[in-house]
Amino acid sequence: MKNKKITAVYPGSFDPITNGHLDIITRAADMFPNLVVAVTENASKNHMFSVAERVELLKKSTKNLKNVKVISFAGLLADYLKKTDTFVVIRGLRAVSDFEYEFQMALMNRKLYKKIETVFLMPDQAYTFLSSSMVKEIATLGGKTEGLVPAHVSKKLQQHIQQRSKNG
């Protein structure tokens, strides 16, 4: 049952978007009338793609989902949610090991902004092993990423790696 006023936000670095992310996005878009995929710069991660590239890859990956909007933001998620008058956060859980970190983040976000409610979604079983870090490592070592990421993302990964090796 969808409430037309509710917008959910799925934040992350999405470097790059994987089929696991896309699975969560698709299912969250079915649950909520509006879904914002919010790409953030996470200084603690070593990014392969710029924020603009990640936004573009996500937009292309979600172009058939009419109620999905892709944006980028900087700073605290709680501040972004306050500013946009949004309170539902979507987070994916691949394994029990993700739960402790995500639970702590959900509680801290709620401490920063009391209205926040976090909805945890598990990806399809086929993607429980999948992470952006793993995809980048596979691609960097010459492995195939087809089936792990959307086709256009796989192509972009290969182009990026080829460019990096030319610039060496």
Domains, the chain, in order of start with CATH, read 7-128 (3.40.50.620)
Would you list which residues are annotated within the binding site for ATP?
Answer: 13-14, 21, 92-94, 102, 127-133
The answer, yes or no, to whether residue 57 has pLDDT greater than 60, is yes
Catalytically annotated residues? 21, 45, 94, 132
pTM here is 0.92
* 163: confidence class by pLDDT, cuts 50, 70, 90: confident
- Site of tokens 């460019």: 163
Would you list which residues are annotated within the binding site for substrate?
Answer: 13, 45, 77, 91
Percent of the chain with pLDDT over 90: 83
Please choose, from the candidates 152, 155, 130, the residue with its C-alpha nearest in 3D space to the C-alpha of residue 63. 152
Q: φ, ψ for residue 50 (rounded to 5)?
A: -70, 165
DSSP type of residue 44:
T
The answer, yes or no, to whether residue 33 has pLDDT greater than 90, is yes
CB 38 within 8 A of CB 11: yes
Q: How many other β-carbons are positioned within 10 Å of the β-carbon of residue 120?
A: 15
What's the confidence (pLDDT) of residue 155? 95
Contacts for 60 with CB less than 8 Å, ≥ 6 apart: 150, 152
